[in-house]
């Protein structure tokens, strides 16, 4: 893994592989990020699809486009596979429960450890975040030109974020937009409230080449808000963010701010 202290971003070299023994050796308070491709061969897809439960298959069938259905199935199956490896069980044996706003979690009677997780995928890339005993949220997007991007920013960004966005050089605006988008999305996903949490009630940094930070939550300074934020690039052309709940007992919070445990899954 390559860490850039100047930008707070992460990039992952192709030779970094996830192994169960490496995952088992992570400290209990470490944050693990797993990056997985979703474009798999037919045989692999069929094997992965067999791990999903009927309710998950029904969700998959709702997708209008076949590529989106396949991406959902692979991402969900990979989540089952990764969780099963950490719980010492089989992928189909993993049971999920959901918060009132739909955030998935392990069902209380099926988890041997208090493992929290979150998932995001864009195109053929999925990112997963795992942490024991602390809430976590993650989001990934591909940097691309969006029609009416300034109007989208005006609708979803806070006043301070919009001011920072409008002050960017034109060449930095696309990256700045997706920096802000992924960081806000990761935060509300960590909270588990989705868009029920007002997006204008908190500020995140967004300028390229500057550290990823939560700047404000309501009237509280971001450094005291109880959450850690990191930005990273899972693949060229993509930007992502992960937010984890702080804990006084978590010795690895400072390490997380410098370099989360980040692994690339290629199976």
| Residue 259 backbone dihedrals phi, psi, to 5 degrees | -165, 95
Q: Where are the beta strands (DSSP E) in 79-205?
A: 96-98, 104-106, 115-122, 125-132, 136-142, 202-204
pLDDT at residue 249, rounded to an integer? 54
Bigger pLDDT: 175 vs 29: 175
> Which of 16-25, 80-89, 149-158 is modeled with the greatest confidence?
149-158
Q: Indicate whether 162 pLDDT > 90.
A: yes
- Per the CB < 8 A criterion, the answer to whether 176 and 168 are in contact is yes
Task: Write down the pLDDT at residue 257.
Answer: 54
Check the CA dihedral 26-31-37-43 and report its sign: positive
Predicted pLDDT of residue 102: 87
Q: What radius of gyration do the chain's Cα atoms show?
A: 18
Of 108-112, 155-159, 186-190, 232-236, give the lowest mean pLDDT range. 108-112
Predicted confidence (pLDDT) at residue 8 exceeds the cutoff of 50: no
- Total number of domains in the chain: 1
pLDDT recorded at residue 86: 86
**pLDDT bucket at 3, cuts 50 / 70 / 90:** very low
**Does residue 159 register a pLDDT over 90?**
yes
Instruction: Using the predicted structure, report yes or no on whether residue 195 has a pLDDT greater than 70.
Output: no
Mean pLDDT to the nearest integer, 226-239: 91
Q: Is the dihedral of CA 91, 92, 95, 99 positive or negative?
A: positive
For 235-248, what is the mean pLDDT?
88
Backbone φ and ψ for 232, nearest 5 degrees, come out as -155, 165
**What's the pLDDT score for residue 101?**
85
More confident residue, 261 or 237: 237
pTM: 0.86
Its domain, for residue 243, covers: 2-264
Cα–Cα nearest to 119, from 189, 197, 27: 189
CATH of residue 109: 3.90.470.20
- State pLDDT tens for residues 27-46: 566 788 889 999 999 999 99
* Residue range 107-133, pLDDT digits in tens: 988 778 889 999 999 999 999 999 888
Supply 99's token pair: 């918060």
């Amino acid at each position: 893994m390559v860490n850039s202290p100047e930008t707070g971003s992460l990039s992952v070299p192709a030779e970094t592989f996830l192994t169960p023994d490496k995952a088992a050796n992570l400290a209990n308070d470490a944050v693990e990020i797993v990056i997985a491709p979703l474009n798999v061969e037919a045989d692999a897809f069929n094997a992965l699809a067999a791990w999903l439960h009927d309710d998950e298959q029904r969700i998959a069938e709702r997708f209008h486009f076949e590529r989106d259905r396949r991406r959902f199935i692979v991402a969900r199956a990979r989540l089952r596979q990764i969780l099963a490896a950490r719980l010492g069980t089989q992928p189909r044996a993993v049971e999920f429960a959901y918060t009132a706003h739909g955030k998935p979690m392990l069902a209380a009677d099926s988890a041997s450890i208090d493992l929290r997780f979150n998932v995001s995928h864009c195109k053929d890339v999925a990112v997963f975040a795992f942490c024991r005993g602390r809430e976590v949220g993650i989001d990934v997007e591909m940097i691309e030109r969006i029609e009416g991007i300034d109007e989208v920013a005006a609708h979803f960004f806070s006043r301070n974020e919009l001011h920072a966005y409008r002050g960017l050089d034109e060449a930095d605006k696309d990256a700045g937009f997706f920096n802000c988008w992924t960081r806000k999305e990761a935060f509300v996903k960590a909270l588990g409230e989705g868009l029920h949490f007002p997006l204008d009630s908190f500020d995140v940094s967004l300028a390229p080449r500057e550290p990823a930070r939560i700047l404000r939550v309501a009237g509280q300074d971001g450094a005291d808000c109880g959450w850690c934020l990191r930005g990273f690039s899972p693949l060229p052309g993509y930007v992502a963010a992960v937010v984890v709940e702080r804990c006084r007992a978590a010795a690895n919070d400072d390490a997380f701010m410098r370099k989360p445990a980040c692994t690339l899954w290629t199976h």
